[in-house]
């Protein structure tokens, strides 16, 4: 399969105005092990970022907790002033070490998150700022209110949420328009089907994280690997193509710290799954998801 550009994935208007190609880039993996500290190969991480506009990827998702701060710093070093690109970031998740995360939603902390991301990214307004997690130990109304205040002040252009239910989206919309939702979702992880359907109904961007996963379906000799061989693709590329076909509001953000892997992911945008192939994979994915649910 030849390398292509993300233009083949189609487009979506975030908030009805920010036009991006649907296949984006998640900038979590350009940090160190456990999403902590500097990347092992800093030069390669910068090459990945420099390659994004060449591949037509104009939507980047990051967070202040990635590193922490490392991902935002690298993005600014490589891509500022982000001509033709939308850089989304997140706040409200703190770090206590590698692979350790804790939500903090106190209003003064969320304001600090936004102000510091503005400084690190070198912008006067964040195009899309997402609440990384709703803090269960802080009144969610207080969290939503301070976000709405920062949007009115012009610090944030558009607001998104992460790892939320339909009820939480509806609650947040009492304070600000929700233009994106970022939940875990892939071929074999279907917990957010209802959220995705709601987002499609309301034309809210659904940003699936961990979109490449295919579970046991990717094993040699399985239907997914057979389909991948027929399409001259990898199982991960087919899984990503399925995600793109699942909904027009889907904006997958596969991440990597290697240029070769980035190019492989981008090439998935040209895979043309037939309706039969899509429905076959959909049924297999649901079966895998139900099997997992039954074993818990």
Q: What angle do CA 59, 169, 173 make, to 5 degrees?
A: 95
d(CA 171, CA 182): 16
Supply the DSSP string of 102-121, one letter for each residue: EE---HHHHHHHHHHHHHHH
Q: Give me 286's structure tokens.
A: 């649901």
Q: How many C-beta neighbours within 10 Å does residue 140 have?
A: 16
Catalytic residue check, 82: no
- Catalytic site residue from 66, 175, 185, 189: 66
Identify the CA nearest to 224 among candidates 277, 286, 159, 181.
Answer: 277
Q: Give me 207's structure tokens.
A: 């940003």
Residues catalogued as catalytic? 66
């Amino acid at each position: 399969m030849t390398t292509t550009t993300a233009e083949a994935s189609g487009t979506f208007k975030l908030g009805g105005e920010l036009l991006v190609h649907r296949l984006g880039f998640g900038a979590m993996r350009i940090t160190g092990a456990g999403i902590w500290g500097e990347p092992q190969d800093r030069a390669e991480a910068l090459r990945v970022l420099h390659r994004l506009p060449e591949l037509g990827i104009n939507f980047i998702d990051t967070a202040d907790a990635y590193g922490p701060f490392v991902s935002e710093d690298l993005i600014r070093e490589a891509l500022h002033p982000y001509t033709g690109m939308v850089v989304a970031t997140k706040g409200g998740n703190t770090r206590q070490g590698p692979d350790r995360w804790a939500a903090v939603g106190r209003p003064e902390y969320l304001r600090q998150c936004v102000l510091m991301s503005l400084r690190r990214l070198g912008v006067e307004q964040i195009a899309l700022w997402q609440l990384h997690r709703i803090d269960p130990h802080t009144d969610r109304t207080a969290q939503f209110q301070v976000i709405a205040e920062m949007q009115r002040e012009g610090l944030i252009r558009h607001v998104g949420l992460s790892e939320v239910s339909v009820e939480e989206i509806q609650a947040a919309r009492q304070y600000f328009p929700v233009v994106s939702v970022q939940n875990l979702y892939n071929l074999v992880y279907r917990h957010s089907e209802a959220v995705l359907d709601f987002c499609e109904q309301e034309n809210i961007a659904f940003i699936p994280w961990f979109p490449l996963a295919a579970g046991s379906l990717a094993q040699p000799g399985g239907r997914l690997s057979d389909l991948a061989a027929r399409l001259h693709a990898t199982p991960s590329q087919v899984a990503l193509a399925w995600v793109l076909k699942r909904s027009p509001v889907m904006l997958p953000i596969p991440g990597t710290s290697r240029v070769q892997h980035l190019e492989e992911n981008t090439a998935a945008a040209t895979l043309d799954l037939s309706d039969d192939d899509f429905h076959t994979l959909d049924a297999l994915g649901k079966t895998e998801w139900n099997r997992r649910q039954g074993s818990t």
